[in-house]
Chains A and B, each alone.
Chain A
């Protein structure tokens, strides 16, 4: 793409009562991202165009939208991936109720976060420290990379196409959070029962769209959801574990993975 190409930006305008796409012909300079173009529209053509953004560097996860139907961060979508002259559709994320233009009500995610049982560390060691080792924290640090853009929540068909599941399903972002806590080397809380029931881990059919859209490259399905599913299987669905427990009288495993 050369500097100064022209594009048609087809931007959703409207609120909960309705709306439509509106076209803006925009000049685009070198290195510009979709969010830059949206800002230009805002400054030049539509001062009240509503859009969320903060860092403009892929670190805060505010500017989530659907660009040509794909959930993306606008600040990390370069204009030079498109053909000059192309019409680019910018729509608000679909899974959450619309507020205005590109801004949606994402409180679903914050409400679900309140239901996660807190981190509960085990006692300190005799010398007063808490020792953890890099090989242990590596796995959980991947989950802590989450910038809460909620693109995974947006693309997840369990709630995107079936909003009636919202009360019973926490969604990929929250599964990553559950995984971070469950696999934390020092945590002692047990959330497996909750995951199976109220958080609705079973609704996930591991079709991996969350992983595909994650701008942080977190392997949501392989590293968070499936290991959690396996842990839930051990707790609730494994006949051999059940039989062994019955025979040996052993209790459920503790959160640090010992036993069983």
Chain B
């Protein structure tokens, strides 16, 4: 019996997997291009991780600082990424971000306003000018709701709580995807000319993370399994400010906007320690005394930026060092202080959800008390290797946008560049996927054997009697990655991690789930574990390969950046079930752009 008869089957020109900012924007664009488009997501529509983004959307609108333009934004992005970025992606991003933000306004978004009635922009780490279009500290919610409602009004077919497990291929090109309905556990087959991956990140492989259960690296693992290249998977961003107490909220994000709006980091001695961690790379543009740093908020022309707003990798490492030196807070973090620096009304107006979050979850009034914060796994800069202009992966018909794609952010992502990345490359992914699909004469064929094999694998946890608990395997993976492949890395620990991951892979073969296929989280987790173990292994192997410290990747055994590694991507491929890791040169920055990077 053919797979199409056996399983619920849908046919589309373009399917978009993931309905966060990038997926929604891609689906809107593909649909606008006339492609029959489906949007598929693991959760309910509008619950994707984009909703958690707080600070804002980086775009050189120039509403607050007319001096700002795409070139400055490009420079900031490249420097923040320690020059490991795909320069062309960073250029497209800086050039197109303002249009994408204005487009949101066209669709009903309501950003905070300047006195002149334009979109207000706020300061963020690594951005030379106040650049982030925002809505208080819930910008992601505004963005996802606007896109969601626009997509609904455009009549795009949405498949909610539907998880894709395998990409299908006809020869070397994409022919669809196969997965299951979470509600019923029934399998569902999508035949499609093109697939856009917009599945987000991999953070659920760590214990302390800002990421939700969805962030299991499905897209990354599916792309790898389908033969696509991954790049720079060692580049994982640890956000410097996550909650640390009480234990159950450890890792929950505290927006960089707290520092953008005047908050400062202090150690247990009450010292603003960031002044001791200004690296030579940023010394020329960073204030070296408190007076200048505080004056900078109001007068950016005559003062240099506060070191509290250095790029996230710098700040996370500084916090880590302070804690290690014994100057941490009672629960193993440091203090973030806005209470003594801004008046309560200002704090409540600018940071309402932070106020709410600390009051409700930690019993802390941030207008009166210090926050306790520490680094938390937040974002992966690496991902599916894509063409800068089209977002096409190395597999024909497979496109990727947003966090699942690599290259745009280099070795470290600046705050605010993620939301704009989603919009800019989400749109491009939808556009080029639709063009690709429209140009394809005949629909690719789905291989029944491939589908049936996938179905059998997915059902196996019900059938075996290994007795392994999927939650325990997941917990052990998180502990392994947290302990061994975290903010500061060293070869012996990572080797140990690889052994543990291999053992966990072995245990995965014995995972058993109870109950039936209807809405069974244990079964869902058992299936997600394949992706998580895959990305954990790739991250660790890539981190071993890159023998230097750069951005999100810090090696205790190679503490300095190495120009040799600064010129290459670490590329991962899977061939005949085997991972291969190699170094390939970065795309060269054209000479006419180079002078911009040197501007002070």
Which residues of A approach B to under 8 Å, CB–CB?
A: 15, 29-33, 36, 42-44, 47-62, 76, 78, 99-101, 103, 105-106, 110, 113-114, 116, 118-119, 121, 129-134, 137, 140-141, 144-148, 181, 184, 187
Contact = CB atoms under 8 A, between A and B. Distances in A.
A76 B361 CA distance: 7
Nearest to A113: B152
Contacts of B521: 42, 47-51
Given A55-B47, A57-B52, A148-B145, 11 more contacts: A15-B518, A31-B248, A32-B248, A36-B248, A43-B471, A53-B212, A59-B353, A76-B361, A118-B150, A144-B141, A147-B141
A47 B516 CA distance: 11
Interface stretch (B66-74, B111-119, B489-497): B111-119
Residue of B110, B112, B247, B361 contacting most chain A CB atoms (<10 Å): B110
A133 B153 contact: no
20 contacts: A32-B246, A32-B248, A43-B471, A43-B475, A47-B520, A52-B43, A54-B47, A54-B49, A55-B51, A58-B356, A62-B43, A101-B519, A110-B160, A113-B149, A132-B110, A134-B112, A137-B110, A137-B112, A141-B135, A145-B138
A32 to B, nearest CB: 5
B141 A119 contact: no
Contacts of B135: 141, 144
Given A47-B522, A100-B519, A144-B145, A58 B357 contact: yes
B438 interface: no
B469 A59 contact: no
Contact of A58 (B111, B150, B360, B469): B360
Nearest to B183: A99
Contacts of B357: 57-58
Contacts of A105: 183
Contacts of B362: 31
Contact of A31 (B111, B136, B245): B245
Contacts of A15: 518
Nearest to B246: A31
Closest 6 CB pairs of A and B: A31-B246, A48-B515, A131-B117, A47-B522, A119-B108, A43-B471
A119 B247 CA distance: 43
A132 B113 contact: yes
Nearest to A62: B47
B142 interface: yes
Contacts of A187: 108
A47 B513 contact: yes
Contact of B518 (A44, A60, A100, A132): A100
B153 A141 contact: no
Residue of A32, A60, A134 contacting most chain B CB atoms (<10 Å): A60
B153 A118 contact: yes
B44 to A, nearest CB: 7
B105 interface: yes
B47 A110 contact: no
Contact of B212 (A36, A42, A54): A54
A137 B111 CA distance: 8
B240 interface: no
Nearest to B110: A137
Contact of B116 (A33, A50, A56, A131): A131
A55 B514 contact: no
Contacts of A144: 110, 135, 141-142, 145
B346 interface: no
B65 interface: no
A42 B522 contact: yes
B212 A121 contact: no
Nearest to A145: B138
B107 A145 contact: no
Nearest to B108: A119
A101 B353 CA distance: 30
A131 B118 contact: yes
B246 A121 contact: no
A59 B108 contact: no
A76 B245 contact: no
B249 to A, nearest CB: 7
Given A144-B142, A148-B46, A29 B247 contact: yes
Contacts of A44: 471
Contacts of B176: none
B214 interface: yes
A30 B249 CA distance: 11
A148 B523 CA distance: 27
A47 B467 CA distance: 12
B252 interface: yes
A137 B118 CA distance: 12
